[in-house]
Chains A and B, each alone.
Chain A
Amino acid sequence: MEVKLNIKRFDPELPSDNEWWQEYSIQINSNTTILDALIKIRDEIDGTLALRCACRASICGSCGMRVNGRARLVCKTRVESILKNNEPLNIEPLGNHSIIRDLVVSLDSFFSKIDQVTPYIVPDSEPETGEFIASNESMENLLTSMNCIMCGVCVSDCTVLEVDNKFIGPAALAKAWRFVEDPRDGKKEERLRYLNDQDGGIWDCTRCMQCVEVCPKGVAPMDRIMEMRESAIESGNKSTSGYKHTESFYNSVKKHGRLDETRLAVDSAGITNIPRLLDLAPIGMKALLKGKLPPLIPHKAEDKEKIKDIYKKVEEKKQ
């Protein structure tokens, strides 16, 4: 069947009008991926169309793009699976990246953020012979982050990066998590302190979930960030506005059965983003528990006593 692809073009070498949308029509079948379609356009219709691709099999991370406003790996997306009423698909380069040409973006900032998290293991000491001894469980745990193919899809759609490019961002933080969690690494505390204290570190995520939704490899960067917040608090990093939020939130709910917004704003050094604060609640609970208990904050605080009860239980559990 015939479909239309509407592609955002950019050519820095043109003196003017160097940005435009261009529509292409091509024939596809039910297994044609968006990447197949783009390659077909490039091969048969317009060789000037620039894009990156290599493996075709969702493993090399080259072909992240925005399709109808959402970042994806186009090799992994069949055209039919997102086609609506045969309307043209809008294809643009990844967001939050500067554009080199057409669908090709610069990854300089992406990789400079990876550099920022000391992305290699730094063991305290090495075994005299043979490998490090580690449980299979601890290694399999790291697979989540090792699955990251550095495609930049999460970075494209991260809502914080959109407004603050100092944020280390989902991909690099997921990479950081891999070393924080690696039992062979000797710098866990230093890593956590850095990620905790750093402007743009773990406390700058708003938990918008975008990265979890768009990541094609199940890395779930936000979950990794939340785990690091927990670890950071557990290892005593309590002097950040992020932690103070959490604590203030915790105390506020405990005392009043509801959130005292004024109090909070004061406590946490001028940060007033309420959705962001709400996000911190479960972490406060979890940190308190140092273990696992599902977040228990009710939406409405009609029963103050009940809430006190919850707190009591949590605090008992902590002992």
Chain B
Amino acid sequence: MYEHDILIIGAGLAGLRAAVEGVRNGMNVGVISKVHPVRSHSNAAQGGINAPLTDRGDDWEDHAYDTIKGSDFLADQDAVEIMSREAGESVIELERMGVIFSRGDDGKLGTRRFGGQKIARTFFVGAITGSAILHVLFEQSIKYGLNVYEEWFVTKLLIEEGKCCGVIALDIKTGELYVIRAKSVIIAAGGAGRVFEPSTNAIICTGDGLALAWQAGAAVMDMEMIQYHPTTLAGTGILMSEAARGEGAYLLNSDGDRFMEKYAPEYMELASRDVVSRSEQTEINEGRGIDGNVLLDLRHLGRKYIESRLGYLQEVGVEFMGIDLAEQPIPIRPGMHYIMGGIKTDVNGATSVDGLYAAGECANVSVHGANRLGANSLLDTVVFGRRAADHATNYVKNIKHVNLDASYLENEKKRLQSIIDRKNGERPAIVRNEMANSMTLGIGVFRNQKTMEKAINDISGIRDRVKNISIDRKGAVFNTDLIFALELEFMTDVAWSIVHSAISRKESRGAHFRTDITTRDDKNWLKHILVSKDNESKNGVKVETLPVNITKWEPVERQY
């Protein structure tokens, strides 16, 4: 029998940071991840991590305000304060673990400027910040002898007497299903990009953690807040980091104009992401795009600069599109990038279910509100990953392992077997692609009542079809076909929560931009939308609202 004080689902930045903290606190920690830790999607973060370092003249309140303004005042200000105050220490700590951050002439950490912020406070490692941090946290996990269930897939959370007391998970390599008991569980399972198409996210970003929490009865919050990144590669949706614009790249329309002049004269290309994405989409919709794209132009930066500071972007340009960025602008468009919404937690990562915590992209402490600033997500993962582990450490002191009935495992085995045995159904990929296209059409850069109603309709149909899909692979060893079927079920739950959250918000705020109601409505909608599973209601969903926590920054109109 596998047993832990703290079991962490996910080995990205949030999961590994939590794990290191748990081990340092003397806990018996287990980490479970459906891919090897270094394959986690945190490795894709290119640009950097924000931190106001107060010892060199930056002010945490400035960072907090930029974050809150960026969030279109939907972020909870108490949570943002914590993040901004703890940011400096968290980044320094990563450096001490071995992250090779870029330096200034004085040998101290150096910065670059990122969108939505007046000053440069983004710390980075070339164009591989996420990877460089993830690999160092992985190094630490080796140093601490961390217990990692590598390539194990969590299929279900176990809830007994209202408390989370473990998980059921599939060892992908053998096909065996196990119960892992835990006094507390931290979900750090990352984002849900694949619910949409195209997306900058990896194929593994299927919102499993969100769905696991949803199925266990925990509430998710502000799920309509989907960030469309302004610069994703035409076609595949691979990300061209914001670092390009941070280093001075231009956005051009088909007339060769820097169109951001019209939309954000002060910040230009470095306005907040939602603003830039909508500006691009407007240019495209009004006929000043090129095959549904606009152009990202780095030519004036010069080859040497591009290759030394933005080497990875050059690699993507050349390998995937055959475009040399020093010679030619590259076509890009807005693409699904990040989900601000997530499992609702307090500032310690605690969810509405006892013993269940969440951190990282799948959680919503509410520091990003209606729009996340670039380089704030990595910060979120390390600050709140650590806090969740600290809080869980205290929580488990008075908790004993629960005796679990053997029927849990038997029932789950039967459920998986029934998917394997099902015949003559649709292929999972067909249903998945339809779902993702429906979501992008319905809950896109621009949305309205009609598109959202259609999305609800579509997803409802998809949810029925998912029950009848069948898979080719029947064997136990490395049955990725089965994994995709399980992921698809997770994704449809996530999609379901998103469409219901979206249609409930009757205003435009941050990433939720409605063409039928174009203004922000603080009087009625300065609040969070909570959705949770409800077996009593007809559509299976309960929708509630919650006031936003405002400490000292009164909402004002957001201009860049």
Q: Which residues of A contact B (CB under 8 A)?
A: 11-13, 31, 33, 39, 42-44, 46-48, 50-62, 76, 78, 100-102, 104, 107, 111, 114-115, 119-121, 123, 126, 129-136, 139-140, 142-143, 146-147, 149-150, 182, 184
Assuming the contacts A100-B173, A146-B135, asked whether A13 and B36 have C-beta atoms less than 8 A apart, the reply is no
B100 and A60 contacting across the interface, CB-CB below 8 Å: no
Query: What are the residues of chain B within 8 A of A121 when measuring CB–CB?
Result: 97-98, 139
Assuming the contacts A130-B55, A135-B107, A143-B125, asked whether A57 and B472 have C-beta atoms less than 8 A apart, the reply is no
Give the residue of A11, A56, A62 whose beta carbon is less than 8 angstroms from that of B475: A11
Does chain A have a CB within 8 A of B118? no
Give the residue of A56, A100, A102 whose beta carbon is less than 8 angstroms from that of B236: A56
CB-CB nearest in chain B for A136:
B103
6 contacts between A and B (CB under 8 A): A60-B40, A76-B319, A100-B477, A100-B478, A130-B92, A133-B107
Assuming the contacts A135-B103, A182-B98, asked whether A47 and B239 have C-beta atoms less than 8 A apart, the reply is no
Q: Which of A57, A58, A133 has the most CB of B within 10 A?
A: A57
Does chain A have a CB within 8 A of B343? no
Q: How far is the CA of A114 from the CA of B135 in the complex (A)?
A: 12
Assuming the contacts A48-B473, A50-B478, asked whether A59 and B131 have C-beta atoms less than 8 A apart, the reply is yes
Q: Which residues of B contact A (CB under 8 A)?
A: 35-36, 38-41, 43-44, 55, 92, 95-98, 100-110, 125-126, 128, 131-132, 135-136, 139-140, 142-143, 173, 202-204, 235-236, 238-239, 312, 315-316, 319-321, 427-429, 471-473, 475-478, 480-481, 484
Q: How far is the CA of A104 from the CA of B174 in the complex (A)?
A: 13
Give the residue of A31, A54, A102 whose beta carbon is less than 8 angstroms from that of B202: A54
Q: Which of A60, A76, A119, A140 has the most CB of B within 10 A?
A: A60
Give the residue of B41, B100, B321 whose beta carbon is less than 8 angstroms from that of A143: B100
Give the residue of B55, B108, B475 whose beta carbon is less than 8 angstroms from that of A13: B475
Give min CB distance, A56 to chain B, whole Å. Answer: 7
CB-CB nearest in chain B for A129:
B55
A44 and B109 contacting across the interface, CB-CB below 8 Å: no
Query: What are the residues of chain A within 8 A of B173 when measuring CB–CB?
Result: 100
Q: A44-B427, A60-B39, A120-B142 are in contact. List 4 more A-B contacts (CB 8 A).
A: A62-B35, A101-B478, A132-B95, A182-B100
Give min CB distance, A55 to chain B, whole Å. Answer: 4
Assuming the contacts A50-B480, A55-B41, asked whether A126 and B475 have C-beta atoms less than 8 A apart, the reply is no
Give the residue of A13, A33, A54, A76 whose beta carbon is less than 8 angstroms from that of B41: A54
Query: What are the residues of chain A within 8 A of B106 when measuring CB–CB?
Result: 133
B478 and A55 contacting across the interface, CB-CB below 8 Å: no
A54 and B140 contacting across the interface, CB-CB below 8 Å: no
Query: What are the residues of chain A within 8 A of B472 when measuring CB–CB?
Result: 46-48
Query: What are the residues of chain A within 8 A of B203 when measuring CB–CB?
Result: 39, 53-56
Q: How far is the CA of A85 from the CA of B102 in the complex (A)?
A: 46
| A-B contact number at CB 8 A | 159
B202 and A146 contacting across the interface, CB-CB below 8 Å: no
Give min CB distance, B52 to chain A, whole Å. Answer: 14
Give min CB distance, B40 to chain A, whole Å. Answer: 8
Assuming the contacts A134-B107, A140-B102, asked whether A59 and B95 have C-beta atoms less than 8 A apart, the reply is no
B131 and A119 contacting across the interface, CB-CB below 8 Å: no
Q: Which of A55, A76, A100, A129 has the most CB of B within 10 A?
A: A55
A146 and B39 contacting across the interface, CB-CB below 8 Å: no
CB-CB nearest in chain B for A139:
B100
Query: What are the residues of chain A within 8 A of B55 when measuring CB–CB?
Result: 129-130
CB-CB nearest in chain A for B236:
A56
A47 and B142 contacting across the interface, CB-CB below 8 Å: no
Assuming the contacts A54-B204, A55-B202, A120-B143, asked whether A150 and B480 have C-beta atoms less than 8 A apart, the reply is no
- For the complex of A and B, list the 3 residue pairs with the smallest distance between their C-beta atoms, beginning with the closest: A47-B472, A43-B429, A136-B103
Q: How far is the CA of A136 from the CA of B102 in the complex (A)?
A: 6
Query: What are the residues of chain A within 8 A of B125 when measuring CB–CB?
Result: 139, 143, 146
B98 and A184 contacting across the interface, CB-CB below 8 Å: yes
Q: How far is the CA of A150 from the CA of B427 in the complex (A)?
A: 32
Query: What are the residues of chain A within 8 A of B238 when measuring CB–CB?
Result: 56-57
B139 and A119 contacting across the interface, CB-CB below 8 Å: yes
Give the residue of B39, B109, B204, B477 whose beta carbon is less than 8 angstroms from that of A12: B477
B103 and A59 contacting across the interface, CB-CB below 8 Å: no
Give the residue of A43, A100, A150 whose beta carbon is less than 8 angstroms from that of B38: A150
Q: How far is the CA of A54 from the CA of B193 in the complex (A)?
A: 12
CB-CB nearest in chain A for B470:
A47
CB-CB nearest in chain B for A122:
B143
CB-CB nearest in chain B for A13:
B475
B319 and A60 contacting across the interface, CB-CB below 8 Å: no
Assuming the contacts A55-B41, A130-B108, asked whether A139 and B429 have C-beta atoms less than 8 A apart, the reply is no
Q: Which of A100, A120, A182 has the most CB of B within 10 A?
A: A120
Assuming the contacts A47-B427, A131-B95, A140-B102, asked whether A57 and B239 have C-beta atoms less than 8 A apart, the reply is yes
Query: What are the residues of chain B within 8 A of A129 when measuring CB–CB?
Result: 55
A13 and B477 contacting across the interface, CB-CB below 8 Å: yes
Q: How far is the CA of A111 from the CA of B136 in the complex (A)?
A: 15
Assuming the contacts A61-B38, A132-B96, A146-B125, asked whether A119 and B102 have C-beta atoms less than 8 A apart, the reply is no
Q: How far is the CA of A134 from the CA of B39 in the complex (A)?
A: 29
Q: Which of B140, B202, B428 has the most CB of A within 10 A?
A: B202
Assuming the contacts A11-B475, A12-B477, A143-B100, asked whether A57 and B316 have C-beta atoms less than 8 A apart, the reply is yes
CB-CB nearest in chain A for B55:
A130
Give the residue of B44, B104, B140 whose beta carbon is less than 8 angstroms from that of A60: B44
B481 and A47 contacting across the interface, CB-CB below 8 Å: yes
Give the residue of B101, B135, B202, B312 whose beta carbon is less than 8 angstroms from that of A139: B101
Query: What are the residues of chain A within 8 A of B475 when measuring CB–CB?
Result: 11, 13, 48
Query: What are the residues of chain B within 8 A of A53 when measuring CB–CB?
Result: 203
Give min CB distance, B34 to chain A, whole Å. Answer: 10
A55 and B43 contacting across the interface, CB-CB below 8 Å: yes
Q: How far is the CA of A80 from the CA of B107 in the complex (A)?
A: 46
B44 and A146 contacting across the interface, CB-CB below 8 Å: no
Assuming the contacts A56-B202, A121-B98, A136-B102, asked whether A101 and B109 have C-beta atoms less than 8 A apart, the reply is no
Q: How far is the CA of A202 from the CA of B43 in the complex (A)?
A: 29
Query: What are the residues of chain A within 8 A of B126 when measuring CB–CB?
Result: 140, 143
Assuming the contacts A43-B427, A44-B427, asked whether A31 and B320 have C-beta atoms less than 8 A apart, the reply is yes
Query: What are the residues of chain A within 8 A of B43 when measuring CB–CB?
Result: 55, 59-60, 149
